[in-house]
A and B are shown apart, each in its own frame.
Chain A
Amino acid sequence: MAEVSIRNVRKAFGTTQILHGVNVEVEDGEFVILVGPSGCGKSTLLRMIAGLENIKSGEIAIGGRVVNTVAPKERDIAMVFQNYALYPHMTVRENMEFSLTLAKAPKAVMDQKVGRAADILGLDKLLDRYPRQLSGGQRQRVAMGRAIVRDPQVFLFDEPLSNLDAKLRVQMRGEIKDLHQRLGTTTIYVTHDQIEAMTMADKIVVMQGGHVEQIGAPLDLYDTPANIFVAGFIGSPAMNFIKGHIRSNAFQVAGLSLPLPNTRGASEGTAVTYGIRPEHWKLDAAGVPAIVRLVEPTGSETQVVAEVEGHRVVCAFRERISERPGDTLHITPDPACAHLFDAATGMRLT
């Protein structure tokens, strides 16, 4: 096990700048998730840690050793690929043994290590099958088994769940988290799915356009997003944003007035973006009128798309809603949970 330091790392493919100076510290044994939309550079960063992309600017250290010029096989890391990258011509056992075979490990050691990994992942009965004969979830487990057998200092996962169906994804999410808790190996995991990031990570690194937007624990990111991008990216359904101004100690925009959060940084007349998560709207007879456009019951809650003074907002209520499209609800935001962002820079006002 080891800590990983990423210091001022830059990367360009031709003239396209992919990473603009990224700094991330991963503690020993931590589960860190790099999350961001497609093309934000998160996979490139992971591949640079693995040694599959060279590092021209900045440095990456694993366990205190700078690995910029160290060959991938000597970095003591194991990677799980998005498409699993299982060798189709080898059985599950041979796939898991491959690195040990190359290292000329004794047969007894190989059996012991493969046996342990198979045990952890429940692969015992599948050891003599070929990848073709396995389901998606089983292949995923073999790919993890191959990583476990190596006993590396760091696990790298590159969008490992994106080829699975929704139900299996939830199951494997739990298995990976459980695996991390049992093995305690430092893990860096890339995904574009913020739910995966929220549910699994000790620490989330939100990236966009080659920049790190915010680093923090899942709930910190949820409760105090540093800017509009993080606020909109974390949480589902996404946060509502309304643009307006601060006037007479309230957020105001044409015909609409909403209570302010406890914010000192916003002075009278400032142009701001008001952010409120769907679940932080409350039903309140004294609130603002909202015309119901769509009602989406999920059972545990009811999502309502409504129009408030011409602004489309999404609300999620624990209560069951009997109103139908076209009816009017009265709602009010919970000011303690509202967020204010500078309209020009998009940064959080505290």
Chain B
Amino acid sequence: MSGDVDASTWVATRRKPSALERLFDNKAFLIFICLLPAMGLLLVFLTYPLGLGIWMSFTDTKLGKPGIWVGLENFQYLMEDRVFLNAVWWTIFYTAAATALKFALGLWLALLLNQNVPLKSLLRAIILLPWITPTVLSAIAFWWIYDPQFSIISYVLKDRLHLIDSNIDFLGTPWNARWSLIFANVWRGIPFVAISLLAGLQTISPSLYEAAMLDGASSWQRFRRVTVPLLMPILAVVLTFSVLFTFADFQLVYAITRGGPINSTHLMATLAFQRGIPGGSLGEGAAIAVSMIPFLIIATLFSYFAIGQRKWQQGGDE
């Protein structure tokens, strides 16, 4: 340090910022710059394909043949297509049944995990396994579990426990195949529901339960009148997500049954792919995919308005 500067006489000097520095200090510019990458990605990989899909659903595009505008012709055709109508019905049933089971079992599991059980964190990690396994891998595992010849379930029931005489034909008949798929979806979806609801349960202060206990509430009453209402907000969010994921499911069904037997397990998503890519009718496939949008919007709005908003959650004075 040079001798003529010491701490008592030193004064901070201010340098004039350069034009670039001032630009980066500008809030509007910063917001724009920071949003640019995300907006770019969304535009290129979401908005453009979605827009293209919607446009294609109004054309008769086929693989290798640019389509022309045909208006609502694709949709009119689909309205009389038994396979499509069956897919719509099955998608709704699949979503409803799988979601109901996922929530019933997921909530039950979350309540169990919220108790003081030994090895709690290990159990939680194990429960997440179905969810973190890549869908296609678990689908292949289920494909084997449901195999007509080598199914482990049939093996245990028939050769070990001698409860049945012949192998179960899990994927060969429509209803067997449907329930098999619902079971696979439930198995995969429970962890998401359970862990999310567990997070919700843990936000409920234990003193509320103690207060309710002193107020004379039985354990069922504590569940009904404290847990459930306080869990509603997160329940609504998780329900929405679960419904959307299940409704738009593709991987499980495509990997296990490919829509068979005789198209009985085609979801709208798998049917759209089937018609559009292997079948080559891009316009028709796009029309099937586009028909999913109203269902998804209704499901979202329902859970948002019917159970999402609670008066007691809103702040403010009046």
A, B assembled together: yes
- A residues contacting B by CB (< 8 A) are 50-52, 72-73, 77-79, 81-83, 85, 87-90, 98-99, 102-103, 130-133, 146, 150
A133's partner among B216, B226, B317 (CB-CB below 8 A) is B317
B215–A99 touching, CB < 8 Å: yes
Question: Closest approach, in angstroms, between the C-beta of A114 and any C-beta of chain B?
Answer: 14
Contacts of A82 in B (CB 8 A): 207
A85's partner among B205, B221, B225, B230 (CB-CB below 8 A) is B205
A130's partner among B205, B221, B230, B312 (CB-CB below 8 A) is B312
Contacts of A77 in B (CB 8 A): 214
Give Cα A87 to B211, complex, Å: 9
22 cross-chain CB contacts under 8 A = A50-B214, A51-B213, A51-B214, A73-B215, A77-B214, A78-B214, A79-B210, A79-B211, A85-B207, A87-B208, A87-B212, A87-B226, A88-B312, A90-B312, A99-B216, A102-B217, A102-B221, A130-B311, A132-B312, A132-B313, A132-B314, A133-B316
Question: Closest approach, in angstroms, between the C-beta of B312 and any C-beta of chain A?
Answer: 4
Contacts of A87 in B (CB 8 A): 208, 211-212, 225-226
A89–B211 touching, CB < 8 Å: no
Digit string of B186-217 for contact with A (CB within 8 Å is 1, else 0)?
00000000000000000001011011111111
Point out which of A50, A82, A90, A102 has the most chain B C-beta atoms below 10 A from its C-beta.
A102
Contacts of B318 in A (CB 8 A): 133
B216's partner among A50, A52, A73 (CB-CB below 8 A) is A73
Give Cα A226 to B211, complex, Å: 37
B214's partner among A72, A88, A132 (CB-CB below 8 A) is A72
B230–A88 touching, CB < 8 Å: yes
Contacts of A133 in B (CB 8 A): 315-318
Q: Does B229 contact A (CB under 8 A)?
A: yes
Chain B's closest residue to A103 (CB) is B216
Digit string of B221-251 for contact with A (CB within 8 Å is 1, else 0)?
1000110011000000000000000000000
B315's partner among A73, A79, A102, A132 (CB-CB below 8 A) is A132
Q: Does B120 contact A (CB under 8 A)?
A: no
Digit string of B111-140 for contact with A (CB within 8 Å is 1, else 0)?
000000000000000000000000000000
B214–A89 touching, CB < 8 Å: no
With A88-B230, A130-B312, A133-B316 as contacts: A98 and B212 at CB distance below 8 Å: yes
Give Cα A99 to B214, complex, Å: 8
Give Cα A82 to B205, complex, Å: 12
A102–B211 touching, CB < 8 Å: no
A79–B214 touching, CB < 8 Å: yes
Point out which of B207, B313, B317 has the most chain A C-beta atoms below 10 A from its C-beta.
B207
B215–A102 touching, CB < 8 Å: yes
Give Cα A61 to B95, complex, Å: 56
Q: Does B310 contact A (CB under 8 A)?
A: yes
Question: Closest approach, in angstroms, between the C-beta of A256 and any C-beta of chain B?
Answer: 43
A89's partner among B212, B221, B312 (CB-CB below 8 A) is B312
Digit string of B282-318 for contact with A (CB within 8 Å is 1, else 0)?
0000000000000000000000000000111111111
Give Cα A83 to B214, complex, Å: 15
B205–A98 touching, CB < 8 Å: no
- B residues contacting A by CB (< 8 A) are 205, 207-208, 210-217, 221, 225-226, 229-230, 310-318
Give Cα A73 to B217, complex, Å: 8
B216–A89 touching, CB < 8 Å: no
With A88-B230, A89-B310, A102-B217 as contacts: A52 and B316 at CB distance below 8 Å: no
Chain B's closest residue to A143 (CB) is B211
Give Cα A46 to B269, complex, Å: 60
Contacts of A83 in B (CB 8 A): 205, 207
Contacts of A146 in B (CB 8 A): 211, 215
Question: Closest approach, in angstroms, between the C-beta of A204 and any C-beta of chain B?
Answer: 25
Contacts of A130 in B (CB 8 A): 311-312
B230–A89 touching, CB < 8 Å: yes
A81's partner among B207, B216, B225, B310 (CB-CB below 8 A) is B207
Contacts of B211 in A (CB 8 A): 79, 81, 85, 87, 146
B213–A73 touching, CB < 8 Å: yes
Contacts of A52 in B (CB 8 A): 210, 213-214
Contacts of B229 in A (CB 8 A): 89
Question: Closest approach, in angstroms, between the C-beta of B168 and any C-beta of chain A?
Answer: 46
The list of the 7 closest CB pairs from A to B, nearest first, reads: A99-B215, A73-B216, A85-B211, A85-B207, A89-B229, A130-B312, A102-B216
With A51-B213, A83-B207, A87-B208 known, 9 other A-B pairs at CB within 8 A are A73-B214, A73-B215, A87-B212, A87-B225, A98-B225, A99-B215, A102-B215, A132-B313, A146-B211
Contacts of A78 in B (CB 8 A): 214
Question: Closest approach, in angstroms, between the C-beta of B292 and any C-beta of chain A?
Answer: 35
Question: Closest approach, in angstroms, between the C-beta of B110 and any C-beta of chain A?
Answer: 19
Question: Closest approach, in angstroms, between the C-beta of A107 and any C-beta of chain B?
Answer: 18
A98–B215 touching, CB < 8 Å: yes
Contacts of A132 in B (CB 8 A): 312-315
Give Cα A77 to B311, complex, Å: 31
Chain A's closest residue to B208 (CB) is A85
Chain B's closest residue to A149 (CB) is B215
Question: Closest approach, in angstroms, between the C-beta of A216 and any C-beta of chain B?
Answer: 30
Question: Closest approach, in angstroms, between the C-beta of B16 and any C-beta of chain A?
Answer: 46
Question: Closest approach, in angstroms, between the C-beta of A123 and any C-beta of chain B?
Answer: 16
Chain A's closest residue to B209 (CB) is A85
Contacts of A99 in B (CB 8 A): 214-216
Question: Closest approach, in angstroms, between the C-beta of B211 and any C-beta of chain A?
Answer: 4
Give Cα A52 to B316, complex, Å: 34
Contacts of A81 in B (CB 8 A): 207, 210-211
Give Cα A51 to B216, complex, Å: 12
Contacts of B312 in A (CB 8 A): 88-90, 130-132
Chain A's closest residue to B215 (CB) is A99
Contacts of A79 in B (CB 8 A): 210-211, 214
Question: Closest approach, in angstroms, between the C-beta of A56 and any C-beta of chain B?
Answer: 18
Give Cα A89 to B313, complex, Å: 8
Chain B's closest residue to A158 (CB) is B207
